[in-house]
Amino acid sequence: MKILVCISGASGVNLGLKLYNLIPSEHERFLVLSENAKTVFEKEENIFLDNDIAAAPASGSFGIDITFVVPCSMNTLAKIALGITDNLITRSAQVAIKEKKKLIIAPREMPFSEIYLEHMLKLSRFQNVIIAPPVLAYYNNPKSIEDIEMFMIGKWFDLAGIENNLFKRWK
C-alpha cells in the first residue's frame, strides 16, 4: 500500500514520527510535516526537520491508499472539516476524503471544546474517515511511555489494516 503520514503541530509530534518509522517495509511510505509541527519538534524533540513540500500526494492520481494525520492539531482539524487546502497536509486530507480512501485523524487537545467536537463529528460521519485520538489504555499494563506509544500506534495500524504486534492484546 501507499501510506501517507501527516504530522501537524499538536503536542506529540514524536508519535507521528514513530508511527511512520514503524510502518512495515513492504509498504511505500511518505511523510508530510506542517510548518508549525517544526516548531513543536524544536520544543519537544530538539530536532529540526525540513518541510516536505513535494506535491505528489496533493494529487489523487498519485494513489495514496491510507492517510494518517498523527497528531492532528485543532487548527488542522478545523481546516480539514471545512475543506480548506492551504498546505500539503490539508490538501492530502481532502484528497483522501474525495477519493474515498481511508483517513485516520488523531486529534490532540485536552479538553475538546464543542467546536472541536463538532468538527470531529462532521468528519467521523464520512465512512472513510476515522477519528482516533491518542488515548491510552490500562488493560495492557503499560510500564513506560514507550508501551503507551506502541499501544496507540498499534491501534492506528489496526484501523489501517496494517498487521502489527506492537501491543499486548486483551485475551
Ligand X SMILES: Cc1cc2nc3c(=O)[nH]c(=O)nc-3n(C[C@H](O)[C@H](O)[C@H](O)COP(=O)(O)O)c2cc1C
Min dist. Cβ of residue 59 to ligand X (A): 21
Q: What is the 3-state secondary structure (H, E, C) of the chain?
A: CEEEEEECCCCCHHHHHHHHHHCCCCCEEEEEECHHHHHHHHHHHCCCCCCCCCCHHHCHHHCCCEEEEEEECHHHHHHHHHCCCCCHHHHHHHHHHHCCCEEEEEECCCCCCHHHHHHHHHHHCCCCEEECCCCCCCCCCCCCHHHHHHHHHHHHHHHHCCCCCCCCCCC
Min dist. Cβ of residue 51 to ligand X (A): 10
108 is a site residue for ligand X (CB under 6 A): yes
147 is a site residue for ligand X (CB under 6 A): no
C-alpha cell at 171: 485475551
The CB-nearest residue to ligand X is 9
- Name which of residues 58 to 87 contact ligand X (CB under 6 A): 73-76
Among 24, 27, 43, 146, binds ligand X (CB under 6 A): 43
119 is a site residue for ligand X (CB under 6 A): no
Binding part of the chain for ligand X, among 32-40, 120-128, 129-137, 155-163 by CB under 6 A, reads 32-40
14 is a site residue for ligand X (CB under 6 A): no
Among 3, 5, 6, 8, binds ligand X (CB under 6 A): 8
Q: 13-22 vs 145-160: helix axis angle to the nearest 10?
A: 60
Binding part of the chain for ligand X, among 4-12, 56-64, 92-100, 141-149 by CB under 6 A, reads 4-12
10 is a site residue for ligand X (CB under 6 A): yes
94 is a site residue for ligand X (CB under 6 A): no
Type of residue found at 134: P
Q: Which chain residues interact with ligand X by CB under 6 A?
A: 8-11, 34, 36-37, 39-40, 43-44, 73-76, 108-109
